[in-house]
A and B are shown apart, each in its own frame.
Chain A
Amino acid sequence: MLFPLPQPASRPHRVVITGAGIVTALGAGWELNNAGFRTGQTAFRPVTLFDVSRQRTKIAAEIDLPDYGLPARLSRHAFARTSRATRMLLLAAREAWRQSGWEPDDQLPVVLGTTSGEMTLGQAYLSQALAHPRRFKHQPTRVAHYQVQRQALVLCDEFGFTGPLQIISNACASGANAIGHAFALLRQGHARRVLTGGYDALCHLTFAGFDSLQALSPTPCRPFDAHRTGLTLGEGAAVLTLETLASAQKRGAEILGEIIGYGATTDTHHLTQPHPAGDAALAAMQAACTQAGITPAEVDYVNAHGTATPQNDATESAALNRWAGARAASLPVSSTKASIGHLLGAAGAVEAVVCLMALRGQWLPPETALETPDPVCQFPIVRQPTDATVNVALSNSFGFGGANATLVFRRWS
C-alpha cells in the first residue's frame, strides 16, 4: 500500500548508488563518458536529425546511437516500435542494471524525469493529421508510444519488473528531481531499491522553442564565460540504481557513491527567467546541504547547472557566491554542459553520473572552451583537466517554471 505509511525508521536510511548508466554525445557507457568529461572533450556538431536550415542556430550535441543488440525480454516487434528517446533510456538502464547486479523484482519503484519523452512521435502524429487528415496508418502507435509512461513501461518489460512508475516533468530539473524523489523514498524507508534517472532526445519542437527564445548559441556554449551567447542543446540519458546501504551491503554490492542530500524549491519570479538574486537556487542548495549535514567548506566540487544563458549563469553565480561565502574563492565549479550541451530532462541525471565519476576518479571535469570567466563568479571555474581530492560533490539543476533542485553526493571509500 502507498498509504497508510509504515512507521518511519528511527533514523533515515543511508542511500547508495550501485549502478550507473549513461548515454551522451560523448558516447554510450561509463568509460567513454568518463574519458570525455575528464579531459573536457566537446561533442557539438551540425544538427542532422531535422531541418535546421531556417533556424538561427544549427548545432547541437547529437548522439550516434549505438545498436542496442537483441533485447532481453522485449519482443523484436515491441523493440522495433521504440524510438530514439526510449532506446537511449534502455541503453543507460541496461548499463546500470548490469552494474548493479539486480534481479527482476515485483514492485521495484521506477522514478524517471523527462521533459519531452518521445516528442518526435507527437510531431509525426500532428504532421500527418494536418497533411493527410484521412490517413491513420501508424497514428495509433504514435499516440501510444508518444506518452511518457510508455517509455517507462517498455523499460519495465525489457528488464522484467513491474514498477510502480512515477514520471516527474519539472522542466530542466526533472532528472535531478527524479533522483531526489527516489532518494527520499529510500531514505524514509518506503522502498529498498529504486531505479531512477532521466532522458530526453533532441526534437524539432524543443530546438525551435529555445531558438525562438533566442536562448540558443550559434557556437558551442561556454558556461560562465563573460562573453557567453546562450546554450547548446544536447540529448542523452542516465540511469542510477539506488538502494539502502543495508540492502547493498547485505548482497555485497559494489558501491559507487552515496547520496546525502536533496533540496527542491520553486522560483516564482517568472516562467522562464530566474530571480536575479537567486533566492530559490540558494534555498535549494541550503536545503540539500542541511539534509546532508555539511557546510560549503566540506564541498569539493560543484557541478553547476550552467546553461550559458546570460540570465541563468548570472543568477546561479549570485546564488553560489552567497551560499559558499568565503569558501567561494577556492571552490571548484564547472558546467559539463560545455561538453555535451543541455540535456533538459536528462541533465540532472547525467550530471549526477558525472559527479560520481569525479568522486571515484578524483578529478574535476573542465570547461576547456572557456575563454574569459565572468567576473561575477567569485569561484574558480575548472578549465583544465585536474586531479583533485573530491569527497563531496554538489550538483545543481534549474528549470523553466522555477523548478530548482540540488543533489549532494559523497565518495564511497
Chain B
Amino acid sequence: MSKVYIHGLGAVSPAGWGVPALRAAVSQNQPLPVQSLPRPGWDKKLSVRSVPPPLPRPAFFSHPRLRRAATMSQYTIAAALEAIGPDAALVQSGALRLGVIVTTMAGSVTYSRRFYEEVLGNPAAASPLLFPETVFNAPASHLAACLNSPGINYTLVGDEGSFLQGLALAAHWLADDSVAACVVVGTEEPDWIVADAVRLFQKSAIHTSGAGALYLKKPSPARTALSAITDAFTFTHGQNPAAAARAMWRQLGPGTPAELLCDSATAPTQRPDWPGPRLSPKSILGEAFNASAAWQCVLACDQIATGSVPAASVSVVGSSQQAIGARFSQSPVTPL
C-alpha cells in the first residue's frame, strides 16, 4: 500500500489569508462578523462573510495571467502556494512533476453573472475579457501558469464532497507515479447570486468564500498521513443524505476519545456518536461549499501537525450530491 503524506496546508477564508488566520478564528470558537451584500432590486441586503483584503499584497498578484482573473483564482493560487511552500521553486524549474486538482461547485460565478448581464444588455458588446474567466478550469489553469506546471490538471465540479474525491484522486496519481506531488484546492468565490441561491435552501446559512489546499507527497518528512478516504455515498432515490451519511460514518469507523472529528455539521447530518473532540468550522466561517470542505481538512491536519490530536476524521455531508469522509493521522517521520 502506498503511503501518502500531507506535506503542506494553505487557506484563504473570511478569517484572512493563511492557515494561521484560519486557526486563530476557529480556536476562538465564535462566529465571525457578518457583512451585508446588496442584492439588486431589494432593500434588504444579503448576509455574507467576506474575505478581507490581503495585507501585504501577495507578489503573485502581479503575474500577467492574474490581471483580469476572478477572485476565486486569487484565492486558489494563494492557498496552493502556501501549501506547496518552497517546493514551488522545484515545480517552476521542472524538477518536480506536480499534479493540480481544483474542486468547486459554483465556479467563477461573478464573471459569469457579469458577462451574462452584458449579453442581456447587448450581446454584441459583451466583453471578451470576461468570458474566458468564466470557465470552471480558469483557476486551475492560472495556478499551473504561475507554477509553470505542464502536468495533469483537473477541475472537478460538484458539491462539498468533491474536495475529498480530489484528495483520493491525488492519492491515485501519486500511487501510479503519474505525478511526484499533487496540490488539491477547494475554492469558491463570493457573489450575491450565490448568496441569494443559498438562501432559497438554507435560510440561516451565511454565504462565504475562499479556498483551502492540501499538498500531498510520498514520501515526505511531514507528520500527517492520509489514512483513509471512504467511498462517496451518492444521494439517490434509494439513499437520502441521512442514509448516505450513516453509511459513510460506518466506513469511517467509531473514532477514539483522543481523535478529532471535523464535520460539516448541520442537523440532521451531524454525527451523534463521536467519542472525541469535535470541530464544526462552518458555524464559525459560513458556507463556502468546496472551500468549506477544504478548511475542514486543513484544520484537521493542522491539529495533527501541531500535536493537538493524534488523529482526525473529516465528515462531509454535501449539499446536493454525496457524503464522504476522510481520516488523517500522525505518522512517524519517513526518511526521504
Contacts and interface: CB of A to CB of B under 8 A. Distances in A.
A31 B2 CA distance: 46
A213 interface: yes
B288 to A, nearest CB: 15
A92 interface: no
Nearest to B123: A208
A208 B123 CA distance: 6
A142 B289 CA distance: 18
A255 to B, nearest CB: 25
A122 B138 contact: no
Contact of A164 (B136, B193, B232): B232
A211 B123 contact: yes
B76 interface: no
A69 interface: no
A265 interface: yes
Nearest to A177: B154
Contacts of A399: 137
B141 interface: yes
Interface string B110-123: 00110111011011
B148 A403 contact: no
Given A162-B239, A168-B156, A271 B172 contact: no
Interface string A108-148: 00000001000000110111011001101001100110011
B151 A1 contact: no
B144 interface: yes
Given A3-B4, A208-B123, A166 B237 contact: no
A165 B172 CA distance: 16
B212 interface: no
A162 B238 contact: yes
B149 A171 contact: no
A167 interface: yes
A266 B320 CA distance: 30
B124 A4 contact: no
Contacts of A147: 105, 159, 320
A266 B144 contact: yes
A156 B230 contact: no
Q: Say which size band chain A's interface belongs to.
A: 35 or more
A408 to B, nearest CB: 16
Interface stretch (B27-35, B36-44, B51-59): B36-44
Contacts of B123: 54-55, 204, 208, 211-212
Contact of B137 (A164, A166, A214, A401): A401
B39 A133 contact: yes
A73 B150 contact: no
B127 to A, nearest CB: 7
A328 B2 CA distance: 42
Given A1-B231, A144-B320, A162 B236 contact: yes
A373 B124 CA distance: 31
Nearest to B4: A3
Given A126-B116, A164-B165, A164-B232, A170 B238 contact: no
A150 interface: yes
Contacts of A7: 1
Of listed B39, B135, B227, residue having the most chain A CB within 10 A: B135
B145 interface: yes
Contacts of A271: 65, 132-133, 138, 141-142
Interface string A376-413: 00000000000000000000000111110000000000
Interface stretch (B18-26, B195-203, B268-276): B195-203
B83 interface: no
A153 B232 CA distance: 13
A70 interface: no
Contacts of A126: 113, 116-117, 193
Contacts of A134: 41-42
Nearest to A209: B131
B200 A139 contact: yes
B276 to A, nearest CB: 21
Contacts of A356: none
B152 interface: yes
Contacts of B41: 129-130, 133-134
B74 interface: no
A268 B132 CA distance: 14
Interface in B232-264: 232-239, 251
B231 A164 contact: yes
B321 A149 contact: yes
Contact of B155 (A4, A107, A170, A190): A170
Contact of B201 (A55, A129, A140, A153): A140
Nearest to A204: B119
A211 B153 CA distance: 27
B303 to A, nearest CB: 20
A411 B124 CA distance: 46
Contacts of A129: 40-41, 193, 196
Contacts of A127: 120
Contact of B230 (A2, A400, A401): A2
Contacts of A133: 39-42
Contacts of A125: 193, 197
Contacts of B81: none
A337 interface: no
B237 A157 contact: yes
Contacts of B149: 266, 268
A156 B42 contact: no
Interface string A147-187: 11110010011000011111111110000010001001100
B46 to A, nearest CB: 12
Contacts of A272: 132
B105 to A, nearest CB: 7
A4 B42 contact: no
B124 A55 contact: yes
A153 B236 contact: yes
Contacts of B144: 266, 268, 402
9 contacts: A1-B231, A7-B1, A134-B41, A165-B232, A166-B156, A170-B137, A213-B128, A271-B142, A400-B141
Shortest beta-carbon contacts, A-B, top 3: A133-B41, A401-B141, A209-B131
